[in-house]
Amino acid sequence: TWDPIAKAYYWHRFFSHQPDLNFDNPNVLKAVVRVMRFWFDMGVDGFRLDAIPYLCEREGTSNENLPETHAVIRQIRAQVDAHYQNRLLLAEANQWPEDVREYFGDGDECHMAYHFPLMPRIYMAIAQEDRHPVVEIMQQTPEIPENCQWAIFLRNHDELTLEMVTSKERDYMYRMYAADPRARINFGIRRRLAPLMENDHERIKLMNSILLSMPGSPIIYYGDEIGMGDNIFLGDRNGVRTPMQWNADRNAGFSMANPQKLYLPIIIDPEYHYESVNVENSERNQSSFLWWTKRIVSMRKRFKPFGRGDMEFLPSDNPKVLAFIRKYRDENMLVVINL
């Protein structure tokens, strides 16, 4: 992109307002580390390293997964470890598990990495009532260093990406979860979890039960714990980025500002209206989805096999049954899920 002030072109992999930094310049790396340390000192627990495979560039390459990128990550990790404890670097690399494995290094690069291919296969398994998509991708997932962990999720602030599925599987997902063309963007679906499940709380519980029993650390996107809806009329991915719904007060308790000054409007769709779907209402009702989420997360924390254990799938003649054992030391947990 041409910059009229500098009178020069600059390189950007994504949007023009996101210029790529030159990490070959040691002063750039020092500046980035300085910014990271500022936020760590403010109390931030970790950073998501967005699109990390494209950190460095080299002529004649796709600029993806370069050795130089891993060298930069190791330098950043060394700085984090030298000054802080219990802080996190989370790799966002939308790739196959065997490729993402490299971003753990020898336990000296990222602490965690998103497991992108698992996510759409949980949706496929539910829609098809067939365990095969989940079993197949988990069997393809390599071992990682002992001090590292996968980040598993159902939704995030972007579209439900379908880059890690075949074109046939993508078409199937569109038919099942994005019949409305407005829900489709790039290679994905721009809806929240509750609308994707047609606000069926039993199906949402089933999805979360699978997620919370899988190897890795589950990430729950804000608002999904109360069944928040989205706004399909907002542009790009903004429909799933609306303000958190805390209560039925002005602006859903998110801000006392003039509603026109909010970064995005509050959800007022009748089915997901902030006056009914909010944290305060959910806290009062112990049969709410929020309380169910609290209980199942608490149960997961009680049993170490879910957090650190191995996984052994059990055979079944019925494809609708997903059964496996989670093992950690002398503790075994049997999980049986009716898809």
**pLDDT tens per residue across span 303-338:** 999 999 999 999 999 999 999 999 999 999 999 999
Round the CA-based radius of gyration of the chain to a whole number and report it. 21
Give the length of the chain: 339
Burial 238-270 (b: 16+ CB within 10 A, else e): bbbbbbebbbeeebbbbeeeeeeeeeeebbeee
- Cα angle, residue 58 at apex, residues 64 and 38 outer, rounded to 5°: 70
Active site residue 50: yes
Over residues 94-120, the pLDDT tens digits come to 999 999 999 999 999 999 999 999 999
User: Exposed, middle or buried, 235 (CB in 10 Å: 0-12/13-18/19+)?
Assistant: exposed
- Position 178 scores a pLDDT of 97
Over residues 14-56, the pLDDT tens digits come to 999 999 999 999 999 999 999 999 999 999 999 999 999 999 9
The amino acid that residue 38 corresponds to is: F
In the set 92, 224, 225, 230, the catalytic residue is 92
Alpha-carbon distances, residue 20 vs 7, 28, 51 (angstroms): 17, 11, 11
- Position 126 scores a pLDDT of 97
Please give the DSSP secondary-structure letter assigned to residue 296.
H
Q: Helical H runs in the chain?
A: 26-41, 67-83, 97-100, 118-128, 132-139, 167-177, 193-196, 201-213, 279-284, 289-302, 304-308
- Cα angle, residue 120 at apex, residues 297 and 110 outer, rounded to 5°: 65
Task: Give residue for tokens 């379908």.
Answer: 162
DSSP 86-126: S-EEEE---S-HHHHGGGGTTTTS-SEEE-TTHHHHHHHHH
Q: Which residues contact 303 (CB under 8 A, 6 or more apart)?
A: 326, 331, 333
Residue 125 has φ and ψ, to the nearest 5°, of: -60, -40
Q: Give the start-to-end residue ranges of the domains of the chain.
A: 12-114, 117-310
Q: How far is CA 88 from the centre of its chain?
A: 15
In the set 24, 41, 45, 50, the catalytic residue is 50
Over residues 138-197, the pLDDT tens digits come to 999 999 999 999 999 999 999 999 999 999 999 999 999 999 999 999 999 999 999 999
CATH number of 117-310: 3.20.20.80
pLDDT-derived band of residue 231, with 50, 70 and 90 as boundaries? very high
Q: How far is CA 22 from the centre of its chain?
A: 27
Output the six-digit token pair for 253. Answer: 């308790």
Q: Which residues contact 8 (CB under 8 A, 6 or more apart)?
A: 2
Active site residue 92: yes
